[in-house]
Amino acid sequence: MNSHSPTSLMAALPFARRFARAMVGSQQEGDGLVARSLRQGLAAGLPAHLALYASIASLTADTAPQALSARERQATLLTSLEGLTRQEAAQVLGLDDPAFDTLLDTARKKLRQMVCADVLIIEDEPVIALDLRLLVTRCGHRVVGAASSEAEAIRMATEYKPGLILADVNLGRGGDGITAVRQILRHVSIPVIFVTAYAERLLTAEGVEPAFIISKPFDRMTLAIATYQAITAGQIPAV
């Protein structure tokens, strides 16, 4: 049984889903992981959102050799994607502060050495697209194109064959980023990261949703770990 209030758990669920999906690489498996976490019961000594993260982390382990261990991926996702402090993330993983600092610093050093990807940016705002281009480049990746509409995104994906797509959800008059990605994935298999200022709106577990989501604004490390997870998870995000 969970000792946390239903209200606190409901508030934490969208972000727990994001964390779980990022860890396992798919909407269905991530949401199943959250359900298992709730069924097994949550630690009473932590706030609801931290207890839920802790339960999810306890159920995810290394299933195949990767450059980053499950523990290292959890540490980077919790601090970068989920925005926890180092102290909060250490509590979630059951580590003392020095041990967590060592874990996180090692993971970040590994991320900086990762092989780069060819990235297609789908973003209708020119200034934001430029910022994304600079951020992607500083992470060591190559930007092969920046599309501002559904039609342009589909054309560029066909022409440039990127290894990763970074897509805004709302393209204004240019359409919808999720619709563009749906069309692209009908023909090719490309990992996709969706970018939105309202991540919780895509994390309701109602219908088909993206597997990889990062919230605006985000920093270089958030993009680095999201990119690593999207490329190495071995599954294409459901959209």
Residue 238 pLDDT grade (very low, low, confident, very high; cuts 50, 70, 90): very low
Of the options 3.10.129.10, 3.40.50.2300, 3.20.20.150, 3.30.70.2660, the CATH number for the domain spanning 118-232: 3.40.50.2300
**For the chain, how big is the Rg over CA atoms in Å?**
18
Mean pLDDT of the 187-199 span: 81
Q: Are strands 142-147 and 164-168 parallel, antiparallel or unpaired?
A: unpaired
pLDDT, tens digit, 9 for 90 and up, residues 123-173 = 999 998 998 898 888 877 899 999 999 999 999 999 999 989 999 888 888
Q: Does 214 or 162 have the greater pLDDT score?
A: 162
Mean pLDDT of the 91-98 span: 95
Provide the b/e sequence for 171-191 (b: ≥16 CB within 10 Å). beebbbbbebbeebbeeeebb
Q: Check pLDDT > 50 for residue 188.
A: yes
CATH code, 6-112 = 1.20.140.160
Per the prediction, the chain carries an average pLDDT of 84
Q: Are 70 and 24 in contact (CB under 8 A)?
A: no
pLDDT of residue 236: 40
Residue 224 pLDDT grade (very low, low, confident, very high; cuts 50, 70, 90): confident
How do the domains of the chain map onto residue ranges?
Answer: 6-112, 118-232
pLDDT of residue 123: 92
Least confident stretch, 39-53, 96-110, 202-216: 202-216
Question: Could you tell me what percent of the chain has a pLDDT over 90?
Answer: 38
pLDDT of residue 220: 75
What is the SS3 assignment for the chain?
CCCCCHHHHHHHHHHHHHHHHHHHCCHHHHHHHHHHHHHHCCCCCCCHHHHHHHHHHHHCCCCCCCCCCHHHHHHHHHHHHCCCCHHHHHHHHCCCHHHHHHHHHHHHHHHHCCCCCEEEEECCCHHHHHHHHHHHHHCCCEEEEEECCHHHHHHHHHHHCCCEEEEECECHHHCEHHHHHHHHHCCCCCCEEEEECCHHHHCCCCCCCCCCEEECCCCHHHHHHHHHHHHHCCCCCCC
Question: Could you tell me what percent of the chain has a pLDDT over 70?
Answer: 87
pTM: 0.71
